[in-house]
Amino acid sequence: YRPEIDGLRAIAVIPVILFHAGVQLFSGGFVGVDIFFVISGYLITTIILADLEAGQFSLLKFYERRARRILPALYVVMASCLPFAWLWLMPSDAKAFFNSVLSVLVFASNMFFWRNTEYFDAGSELKPLLHTWSLGVEEQFYVLFPIFLMLAWRLGRKRIVGLLTIGALLSLALSVYATSTKPVVAFFLLPTRGWELAMGSLIAFYLEGKARDQFPPALNQALSFVGFGLIAGAALTFTKETPFPGFYALVPTVGAGLIIVFGSPETFVGRLLASRVFVGVGLISYSAYLWHQPLLSFARHRSLTEPGEMVMAGIIVLTFGLAYMTWRYVETPFRRGNIVPQRLLWRVSLASAVLIAGSTVGLASITVEERNIVDREMRAQWRSGTCMFGVDQTYETLLQNHCDVVPGASAQARDDASRSSKRFVLYGDSLAAHLYPGLVRGLGEDGIIQLTAGGCSAIRVTKGRRCTDFYDWFVDDYVPTNKIDGIIVSSSWLGAYERIGDEEFRTRLDALFEKLKGRRVIVYSQPASFLVDIERYLYRIEKITREVPRTLELEPQNLEAVNTALSEESAKFGFEFIDITQLFCSRSQCGVVKDGVVYFGDRIHLALSGSVLVAELTHGLLTRDYAGAPGPGASDKSTRDNTLPREALIVRNLDGTIRYWSDGAKKLYGWAPYDVLGKMSHQLLKTAFPVPLKVIEEELGTKGRWDGQLGHVLRDGSRVRVVSHWVTEQFPHSQDTSMKVIEVNSPLNTSSGSFRDELISLLY
């Protein structure tokens, strides 16, 4: 017995637990698993060699020892997880958990997680049994390695060591290659992890029969310190971005190997690891490893946000408390043959496995896959499966459901003067479909034609026939042969932009715009893109708290680059670009919930309330009259010269509070939307009126419009005179009864002599 090996187990398990708890200091704590692999390879080989030397090695006895060591505590933890998984996890997560339980029972959890997850992805921390992948690797090693040693024993130690060395080097080479080409394979599977276990085995062969004092004390001190330093360095400096395992896994594994070889009790490192605290933690390390991930995972499932430091600290304390109880009352008794005989061990193990498997299958069968209420509401409003065809459908679904034509105007629509008489086509993927519920409230069912496809970008970026056929049909067949007042285009722009890069994105966007040239085209940005799973968050609200928080703001991904590309390419063709990001986001935070209203249904899609908000604040921009815009090569200088500001569109409340600030307003005045939203427009721009503001407001209230010239101060302090046109609007059938003002400003120095008349004709 070497107490420092138990101490080494302690410095393996502690970083793993702290890493999974989100302690930033231990950003590379996942390397603790690699230390366990080296320890396992060393100890297992030492045990087998001793039995082979004595001529009493039994495969059945070996598997019995492994079963006593692994199964009892594992089954206790798995059985404890089942009821909490069924009660607390959303159905899709519960289904995945039940499948992972079955994979653990057949020693294949590493294969399951290889096919279904990435260790460092955003959702990995929510998988209660993710950590059992390492048990799968070890169990597969335990099945194969003893058989290899039995068959190769007659070849002699040197040949066995040679074969092990060759196998380890091949495994390491495969690990290095797969880490750069197939990182998930490299992380989870035995062929790319086997070299770490083989390293421990080779150390066992090297140390067999050798005295512990064979090396000079100074060398032992130095190399054991180096080993400890390598482990500490990896645990403290590696991150999720470190290419792993590959060559980087040599750092903690070599460190563990140096401690095993040189960390004798006479060294400082050996004495430290052999101390009572480290040995105590090492003894319960297996149970601590089993308990920590389910506890952390369930805590995250039960919390609407990431649990705080005190909660995490409490979970870590609970982990070691449960680990001690499991070690004392489960692990220790089952390891003793006089307490649990061999026959009883196999019977209990088999019965436990059958009971857990049966319970898992039973719970899975009564777990109904359902979506949260916001998601159900969203997809019904999107007309999913009809006017947004799904992944197993083609664009012909749109034709079969008559989505390509406007139904005859109903009497209600004809009598509703608040409705627009214009007809728009909504084109794109699900980020176009999520605009439909709001748009249809303002434009009416007769004013909007929905032609959308789930998973198909608005631009031609995929080789899949389903999406390219839809794109070709829309731009080559539908658009040229139908009379429409405008085409609204929206898509998951960020995903396409990141996949193909800025230059290619602009090229393909221009290809779409070239096909739509001569039409009025309104391009919508996507509202936001979150890294957190909003859908799971909303499920927790619905099932756990039964309450919606008054406010929730989360950090989004940066959309500035893709929105710049959309704005600039739209301007080239005289198309309108509406940045709806500003309706929900400040510079660093986006409002998922505001005043108790949920605006987002998942990471990128708007809930019904969000869709309505977008429609309310952009309805007037859509329904104003449009005289057409020249395409590329037209003679209008303001269209060809993208450096000149176009008209500035501002949506504000009657009291002047700014609600929307267009890209043209940003170019004209110098302020970005984030700088001005919520501020009073007249105070911000230091507006100089031709007549008292009260007179203008009276005319606006009486006639619903006003036009004239105003003086404004730009962000840089310079002054500009603008032709300004104001129109009041109230969104039809909206719960928000407040009146809004659409203000259109254009600088006099960019217009021709009759600019004022042209602007007025454009707006009426």
* pLDDT tens for each residue of 135-169: 999 999 999 999 999 999 999 999 999 999 999 99
Query: CA 278 to CA 18: how far, in whole Å?
Result: 16
Whole-Å CA distances, 69 to 214, 267, 332, 385, 495: 32, 30, 9, 52, 47
Residue 4 confidence (pLDDT): 94
Residue 414 confidence (pLDDT): 39
Are the C-beta atoms of 243 and 180 separated by less than 8 Å? yes
Query: CA 673 to CA 729: how far, in whole Å?
Result: 21
Query: CA 355 to CA 523: how far, in whole Å?
Result: 57
- Judged by average pLDDT, the poorest of 88-97, 320-329, 633-642 is 633-642
Are the C-beta atoms of 407 and 424 separated by less than 8 Å? no
Query: CA 8 to CA 421: how far, in whole Å?
Result: 76
- Greatest mean pLDDT range, 289-303, 523-537, 615-629: 289-303
Give Dmax over CA atoms of the chain in angstroms.
Answer: 108
Whole-Å CA distances, 516 to 302, 627, 629: 49, 16, 12
Are the C-beta atoms of 103 and 111 separated by less than 8 Å? yes
Q: Is the pLDDT of residue 538 over 80?
A: no
655 vs 6, which has greater pLDDT? Answer: 6
For 431, the token pair is 């980020």
pLDDT band at 308 (very low <50, low <70, confident <90, very high): confident
For 292, the token pair is 């920590």
C-alpha closest to that of 751 among 726, 711, 721 = 721
Q: Is the pLDDT of residue 763 over 50?
A: no
What residue has token string 């009041």?
728
| 643-764 shares the fold of 371-530+557-580+607-626 | no
Q: Where are the domains of the chain?
A: 3-365, 371-530+557-580+607-626, 643-764
Query: CA 30 to CA 12: how far, in whole Å?
Result: 9
pLDDT in tens, 432-449: 999 999 999 888 888 999
Q: Is the pTM of this model over 0.95?
A: no
Say which amino acid occupies 319: T
Query: CA 677 to CA 688: how far, in whole Å?
Result: 21
Q: Is the pLDDT of residue 186 over 60?
A: yes
Residue 371 confidence (pLDDT): 52
Residue 751 confidence (pLDDT): 41
Overall average pLDDT of the 228-241 stretch: 94
Residue 120 confidence (pLDDT): 60
461 vs 299, which has greater pLDDT? Answer: 299
Query: CA 206 to CA 488: how far, in whole Å?
Result: 72
pLDDT in tens, 482-503: 988 899 999 999 989 998 999 9
Second-level CATH architecture of 643-764: 2-Layer Sandwich (3.30)
Helices (H) and strands (E) in the chain, counts: 34, 14
What residue has token string 């010269």?
641
pLDDT band at 463 (very low <50, low <70, confident <90, very high): low
For 568, the token pair is 């600039």
Query: CA 159 to CA 436: how far, in whole Å?
Result: 71
pLDDT in tens, 597-636: 888 888 899 988 899 889 888 877 787 655 444 333 333 4
Are the C-beta atoms of 578 and 522 separated by less than 8 Å? yes
Whole-Å CA distances, 331 to 42, 357, 425, 619, 656: 21, 21, 67, 67, 71
Contacts of 198 (CB under 8 A, 6+ apart): 41, 164, 167, 168, 171
pLDDT in tens, 34-48: 999 999 999 999 999
Residue 206 confidence (pLDDT): 93
State which fold the 371-530+557-580+607-626 domain adopts. Answer: Rossmann fold (3.40.50)
Contacts 24+ apart (CB under 8 A), 155-162: 157/205, 160/205, 161/202, 161/205
Contacts of 444 (CB under 8 A, 6+ apart): 413, 416, 419, 420
Q: What are phi and psi of 656, to 5 degrees?
A: 100, -5
Q: Is the pLDDT of residue 708 over 80?
A: yes
Return the beta strands (E) in 198-259 as ranges: none
